[in-house]
Structure 1
Amino acid sequence: MSNEKLDRRARRTRQAIRSAFVELILEEGYDSVTIQDVADKADYNRGTFYKHYVGKDELLNEIREHFLRGIRQALLDPYPGMEEVDATQIYPSSLKLFEHIEDHKNEFKALLSIHKSISKDLYEALRQSMREDMHMEMEPSDPPLDYELMLSYRLSATVGVIMHWAENDFKYSATYMADQLLALVNSKIERVVFIRKP
């Protein structure tokens, strides 16, 4: 059998094991899931599981890394070969970001059920991308904006929007979320009206 066929088979096997694991986490909780449960659900034996993974922690880490890698990739995919893009033209990367999360929402929910720190991981993945893959050039302002503070503000807001979406069981489409994020980023508060008088 050719290496390509073996690689394809290995990828299919790993994908089946990952999918089974995620389903079981969502049904039973991470601590309750056994290797035998995963193997049975994926329709393999325990030996096949151990051929690909040392244990549950390694499998979980692979799911986490794959999800976060996709976040970074989503930001760059719409702009192959481009050196820069106008800030008004960033909708494609916002949409790709939300589509990636929507496509992997079960993985995200499973990770969230185990590690509440996934929001921090998400923040760090976006921050790393903004430091290594791209740089935002801001309009001049008075006082000048501190780039790191601006980045922290925008990324925290983005992660907050994503977490709200997840907490509401992804009830909106990726398109709706991308539209809303861009509207939020570009909106300015006109005034604050006090409901409770000081």
Structure 2
Amino acid sequence: MDRRVAKTLALLEQAHLSLVVENGYDAVTVEDICARANVGRSTFYAHFTGKDDLHRRGVEALRHELKVHGAAASGDGDTPGLAFSLPMFEHARGHLDLYRALTGSRAGVVAMESIRQVLCEAVRAELSSVAATGSATAPPRELLVQHVVGAYLGILTWWLDAGAQIPPREMDAMFRRLMGEGLPPT
């Protein structure tokens, strides 16, 4: 890739992320991104179809990171289908303001849905390697995917809103325990 193109793309991504943190995803416009990056609209549209397309580029980077970390963690004997958990908590902690903007009250539907899709893909991929139980009462695999991802996003959002004070490894351990054991008896 040409260095000028790479620099332009980096400026656009950086402008997009900083504006999302400041204003929330839905409030950010292509005009805002171009002004912050000091790039013309025609240059923006030479690379992206809109802000959602630019956002998807960032999501692709997250998807790749989770895939790499998930593959490394898949052989550790942990609960199947949860290898994404620790890398996601760590990534969120490292980009706290961005994740708060993407998952909190200022989150856009596109932003939140893209994170959900990345997580669903990760869980589906991990569960595809787990043998089906064959039980007639076993829930459909997609129900399991939605259950895991819904629970994870709820916990992630709570953790971020609380300031991410609990270390990512502890959050991962608690999430895995809840997924493996369910609710403690009352």
TM-score for both structures, normalised by structure 2:
0.68
Match of 2:179 in 1: 185
Q: Give 1 or 2 for the bigger CA radius of gyration.
A: 1
Calculate percent identity across the aligned residue pairs: 22
Query: What's the secondary structure of 1:87's corresponding residue?
Result: coil
- 1:41-190 correspondence to structure 2 within 5 Å: 41-79=36-74, 85-87=76-78, 93-112=84-103, 113-116=106-109, 118-133=111-126, 134-137=128-131, 145-148=138-141, 149-187=143-181, 189-190=183-184
Give the partner amino acid of 2:15: A
Give the partner amino acid of 1:12: K
* Aligned match for 1:39, one of 25, 34, 43: 34
Give me the whole-angstrom Cα distance separating, in 2, the residues matched to 1:186 and 1:20.
41
**Structure 2, unaligned stretches of length 5 or more?**
none
Pair 77,40 (structure 1): closer, same or farther in 2 beyond 3 Å: farther
Give me the whole-angstrom Cα distance separating, in 2, the residues matched to 1:124 and 1:31.
18
Give me the whole-angstrom Cα distance separating, in 1, the residues matched to 2:87 and 2:59.
18
Pair 30,100 (structure 1): closer, same or farther in 2 beyond 3 Å: closer
Give me the whole-angstrom Cα distance separating, in 1, the residues matched to 2:79 and 2:58.
33
Superposition deviation, residue 74 in structure 1: 3.6
Give the partner amino acid of 2:148: R
Deviation readout 1:41-73 (Å, 9 max, x if unpaired) = 224444543443343343233334444454444
Superposition deviation, residue 145 in structure 1: 3.3
Q: Is the 8 A contact 2:52 2:110 kept in 1?
A: no
Pair 14,42 (structure 1): closer, same or farther in 2 beyond 3 Å: same
The number of equivalent residue pairs is 182
Give me the whole-angstrom Cα distance separating, in 2, the residues matched to 1:91 and 1:132.
10
Give the partner amino acid of 2:94: D
Greater length-normalized contact order (CA 8 Å, ≥ 6 residues apart) = 2
Superposition deviation, residue 161 in structure 1: 1.3
Deviation readout 1:100-138 (Å, 9 max, x if unpaired) = 333344443444434246555444433333334543358
TM-score for both structures, normalised by structure 1:
0.65
Match of 1:16 in 2: 11
Query: What's the secondary structure of 2:166's corresponding residue?
Result: coil
Q: Is the 8 A contact 1:99 1:174 kept in 2?
A: yes
**Structure 1, unaligned stretches of length 5 or more?**
193-198
Pair 190,78 (structure 1): closer, same or farther in 2 beyond 3 Å: closer
